[in-house]
Amino acid sequence: MNRHRDNDDTDTRSQEFLTFILGGEEYAIDILRVQEIRGYDAVTPIAHAPEFIKGVMNLRGAIVPIIDLRIKFGLGQPDYTPFTVVVVLNVGRRVVGIVVDAVSDVISVADSQMHPPPELSRAVDLRYITGLAMLDERMLIVVDIEGLMLSADMALVDEAVI
């Protein structure tokens, strides 16, 4: 993983992000939410779960649900190869995994490189886009991954117990 350091050293506040590619767009999420990155393997499907919830996987003894964001955001027909990547996240008090097209790298984004979110968004709900980061020629969509994963339409969390 390369680290891209921003040119402007006088900006003291910057955050680190993991970037990944999904449906031709590049997204950035808070690195602190990322637990690990692994391959897609042995997922047990859950009855009557929405199509984008592929099932659960055994992560060293923990039962982790896997959500394929490619399906969730309607980005064409996904395939599962030995190179398919799962980003394992810590959101809220849960561990969940998301399947993306590819993982890019870990970068630092200074406040000066952060711009307000766009008016429209194709895939991710605008509520969860915190901004756009411009790095060299790359435009990264910065996403509040925790808010997104815990939102009702991700169907991961449910209010009532019964």
Regarding beta strands 114-115 and 14-22, do their DSSP bridges make them parallel or antiparallel, or are they unpaired?
Answer: unpaired
Q: What is the DSSP letter of 145?
A: H
Q: Measured between alpha carbons, how far is residue 145 from residues 33, 62, 142, 154 in Å?
A: 8, 21, 9, 11
Question: By C-beta, is 42 or 120 nearer to other proteins?
Answer: 42
Binding mask 75-114 for other proteins (x = CB under 8 A): -------------------xxx------------------
Question: By C-beta, is 132 or 156 nearer to other proteins?
Answer: 156
Segment contacting other proteins (CB under 8 A): 16-24, 29-37, 57-65, 132-140? 57-65
Q: How many residues does the chain have?
A: 162
Residue among 12, 13, 48, 77 that touches other proteins (CB under 8 A):
48
The reply on whether position 161 binds other proteins by CB under 8 A is: yes
How many residues sit close enough to other proteins to count as binding (CB under 8 A)?
26
Cβ neighbors of 40 (< 8 A, separation 6 or more) are: 66, 80, 84, 85, 86, 99
Regarding beta strands 3-4 and 102-110, do their DSSP bridges make them parallel or antiparallel, or are they unpaired?
Answer: parallel
Q: Which stretches of the chain bind other proteins, using CB under 8 A? A: 42, 44-49, 55-58, 61-65, 94-96, 155-158, 160-162
